[in-house]
Amino acid sequence: MHKKKIDAFDIFAAVFSQKRTVSAIRLLILKTIYKSKEGTLKFSDILKAIQSYKDRNYSSQRLTYDLNVLKENALIDQTSDGNYSITDYGCYILDVYDKMRRELEDIGTNEKPGFVAGANGFIIARNFDYRILGQELWELPFFRKVPSREQNKINLKWNDSNDNFESDIEISSDGSFTIQVVIYVDALPSIEGAFKEDLEKTAKWHNAAKGIVQAILYYIERTAHRLWNNCRVDIIFGPDSYPINLYAGVKEAEENTN
């Protein structure tokens, strides 16, 4: 519980300092805790991560100060055993920052080749509660909680921290759900010839994206059936996968060699 009243300005100001290095480290603290498998991290593990990725001279005293700032402004919490966990506000800050970073740095579907896979459907069950389903899925090690500002809806992500992987899982109060997975490929094989041949060369990425969606569907269905014995899960679309920007970067590479 936070003793002082927190507003939006306090939350953003706690992360985004006038000093770029301070902001970078506090974002890294949030991201490091967010990506932890257990959902919590020890002080020593956070310190090791900062020293490894940002600043070898970063001291335990500086970390103590930064953690206190983040905690006082509702971005992290401390568990009874002294470990640190990220709050919904902390998750939301990371989500906003990552979306803006991708837009400004042109990281995404406008530039990088990859494969998109998706599926959607309905869960039909008496006394269905999307919040209970979401809570059960969040407790599995395969999913991450994503704070949603929309009512009657919960959001999750598949638990993969690779920068070339994105996922969005949305479950609504009416039982409808959508799944989307994107795998970006930095080093696609040389693409030549007919489109059919191109797809054959990248079949493993197609299968990987589709396979992850199938795994997500499995856990949604299994959890729903465990919670509501007589429920029905209808798959309306998918799982299916298709390439995006298959030739991204190829034309530029050809121009550079001429």
Q: What is the pLDDT of residues 181-192, one digit of tens each?
A: 988 876 554 444
- In angstroms, the CA 85 to CA 144 distance is 13
Q: Is residue 209 part of a domain?
A: yes
Compute the CA torsion angle 90, 92, 95, 96 (nearest 10 deg). Answer: -110
Question: Where a domain ends, among 104, 132, 156?
Answer: 104
Question: Where a domain ends, among 84, 104, 124?
Answer: 104
Are 142 and 82 members of one domain? Answer: no
What lies within 8 Å, CB to CB, of 16 at 6+ separation is 23
Domain extent for 97: 8-104
Are 20 and 85 members of one domain? Answer: yes
pLDDT score of 254: 44
Are 74 and 128 members of one domain? Answer: no
- In angstroms, the CA 205 to CA 7 distance is 44
- In angstroms, the CA 128 to CA 43 distance is 40
pLDDT single digits (tens) 210-249: 999 999 999 999 999 999 998 999 999 888 888 877 665 5
Are 37 and 80 members of one domain? Answer: yes
Supply the CATH number for residue 26's domain.
Answer: 1.10.10.10
- In angstroms, the CA 181 to CA 241 distance is 9
Token pair belonging to 80: 């009874």
Question: Where a domain ends, among 83, 104, 125?
Answer: 104
> Would you place residue 15 in the very low, low, confident or very high pLDDT band (cuts 50, 70, 90)?
confident
- In angstroms, the CA 87 to CA 147 distance is 9
